[in-house]
Amino acid sequence: MAQDEKRGARAPRRWMRVALIVSLALNLLVLGVIGGALFSSGWRHMGHMPHISGAAGPMTRALAEEDRHAIAQQMRQAYRDGRPGRTAQHAAFKSLISDLRAEPFDRSAIEAHMAGIRGMISARVELGQRLLLDRLSDMDPAARKAYADRLEAGWRHHAGRGRDE
């Protein structure tokens, strides 16, 4: 009888040990996924807007480094001069999220938030395109040709990853 009691006492300890090992394994898995994401995207990108070279795709990636830098400075200055910046974007998303959680669901409120966010994104894209056009207009023919060559190479590389040319 005393031996049965000992076995009974061991069973909960055994399950507890298994549960702890499984929990530890899951925690390590989650840390691995998070660590992998941080290292693959780079620490500097955490919590920041994408770099201009990634924000507008192949047209900005094809620019020379000094041109990308100049456009990025002009965009930052434009937002310092009164365009909706991160504060307005955070407020818009915070309002959207709040209304998404509200009951009853108000489709028109969500639609209005989406329109506002779309307007901010559209304004940013238009500004970027205008600055890019200004930069392209200021380039001499050789620099513009080099830009076109880099753009074409980037486009071909992207198209070659399983897409039709």
Q: Which residue has the tokens 């001069």?
A: 81
What SS3 class is residue 84? coil
Helix, strand or coil, per DSSP, at residue 133: helix
pTM score of the predicted model: 0.55
Read off the pLDDT of residues 3-24 as tens digits, 9 standing for 90 and up.
Answer: 555 555 556 677 777 766 766 6
Model pLDDT for residues 9-68, shown as the tens digit of each residue: 556 677 777 766 766 666 666 666 665 655 554 444 444 444 444 445 788 888 889 988
Residues 136/142/143/146 CA torsion (nearest 10 deg): 110
The angle at the Cα of 75, spanning 74 to 80, to the nearest 5 degrees, equals 95
Higher-pLDDT residue of 23, 119: 119
